[in-house]
Amino acid sequence: MSTTTARPTPVTAGAPAPALDPGRPERAAYTVVGAGAIGGTLAHALARAGHAVTVIDTDAAHVAAIREHGLTIRRPDGRDDVVQVAGAYLPDEAPATSIDRAILATKSQHTATAAAWVAPRLAADGLVLSAQNGHNEQTIADAVGSERVLGAFVNIFTDYLGPGVVSDGGAGAVAVGLPGGGAPDARVLAVAEDLRAYGDVVATANLAGYRWGKQGFGSILGLTTLVDAPIADVVDRYRDLAAAVARESTEVAIRSGVVLERFDAYEPYAFSDAAPALARERALTRLVRWLRTQPKDRSGVFRDIAVRRRPRETGGDRSTYPEQAAAVGVDLVVGPLVARALDEVAAGTRDFGWHTLDEIRAELAAHA
């Protein structure tokens, strides 16, 4: 990639980031690679807290808007919360500066390209935090070295709304940890503390437990993506399918020896084979109740397919998941049916609608 010394247009919109506290050490600088929904949300929070934040994105219109107007979070009441960032660049125009802390927030399928961009710029003692919906740390480690990679679990409800703007879809859980597990080290604790500019962030010794829990919850969200209706309504109407699709990933995790973690209103063990029917129903009720409080009422995958005309996220842990399920004796049925239907909707060969869930219910009954 070529580099230039181009600087972004000064930002005049919105309130400036707060000044540093007297006597407090300077806040760490961050480079956020992939400034869409999740990356943009974290970049905004860090910039608002006074960190020097540089964003890197391949969307030229998004980068241009951030340069001209700032990075905007649209709050649920319609108010635009705008902050300045230190710089916004396309990958091939970013200045050749050393990066101390990078947050990689691209889609899983773009991890290798993003990590290759970061690698020659990362300081010897720098780090890369994977804030993605996948277990992508090994791909990043292949480019920068495993000793410089941290992992994160994110359940942030947000959407990319347009150039320079992401939504505030409601608070969600975030956890930071070492990819291989173990007690949080100084880097994990420091990054978690910085990210508390966003909200309640946990420094964890069990990142895998959160990630596998998110896989179950994400499976439910994937199911809801097949209908153009509020997430809570779909889960409430098709509780049997929601429980069935969550059960598959929950059992893969349990049988693989993962200790699952609860987050937000999602209780993974309620969807295990050992869970009593009453516990499962009450867990679904609590989940539906919480989902109804969230301003964001469509999944990110729905927005990708319906609005941005992009396929669902692939790569990362998803590429080996079927083999892992087979190895521990879990027969994947609902998940593959949902994935196939999502691909058909993305390809334009299937319409959004309740009929798809009825078809999946019928296929599941035939398989039983």
Best CA proximity match to 26, nearest among 55, 53, 50: 50
Contacts 24+ apart (CB under 8 A), 112-121: 112/139, 112/142, 112/143, 114/33, 114/34, 115/139, 115/140, 115/142, 115/143, 115/144, 116/143, 117/1, 117/33, 117/56, 117/91, 118/31, 118/33, 118/143, 118/144, 119/143, 119/144, 121/31, 121/96, 121/97
Provide the pLDDT for residue 36.
93
Residue-level pLDDT at 109: 87
pLDDT in tens, 303-317: 778 766 666 655 555
Q: What is the pLDDT of residue 96?
A: 87
Rounded to an integer, the average pLDDT of 343-347 is 90
Q: What is the rounded distance in angstroms from the CA atom of residue 92 to the CA atom of residue 165?
A: 22
Mean pLDDT, the chain, integer: 89
pLDDT per residue as tens digits for the range 73-97: 999 999 999 999 999 999 999 998 9
Joined tokens for residue 366: 């035939």
Q: Is the pLDDT of residue 6 over 80?
A: no
Q: Are 248 and 332 in contact (CB under 8 A)?
A: yes
Which of 146-150, 280-284, 286-290, 321-325 shows the lowest mean pLDDT across its residues? 321-325
* pLDDT tens per residue, range 36-65: 999 999 999 999 999 999 999 999 999 999
pLDDT bucket at 22, cuts 50 / 70 / 90 = very low
- The mean-pLDDT minimum among 18-22, 42-46, 53-57, 106-110 falls in 18-22
Q: Are 305 and 342 in contact (CB under 8 A)?
A: yes
Query: Is 170 within 8 Å of 141 (Cβ atoms)?
Result: no
Give the pLDDT score at 305: 80
- Given a cut of 60, is residue 265 above it in pLDDT? yes
Measured between its terminal Cα atoms, the distance across the chain in Å is: 53
Q: What value does the mean pLDDT take over residues 266-277?
A: 98
Q: What is the pLDDT of residue 311?
A: 63
Asked whether the beta carbons of 3 and 70 are under 8 A apart, the reply is no
Reply yes or no on whether the pLDDT at 15 is more than 70: no
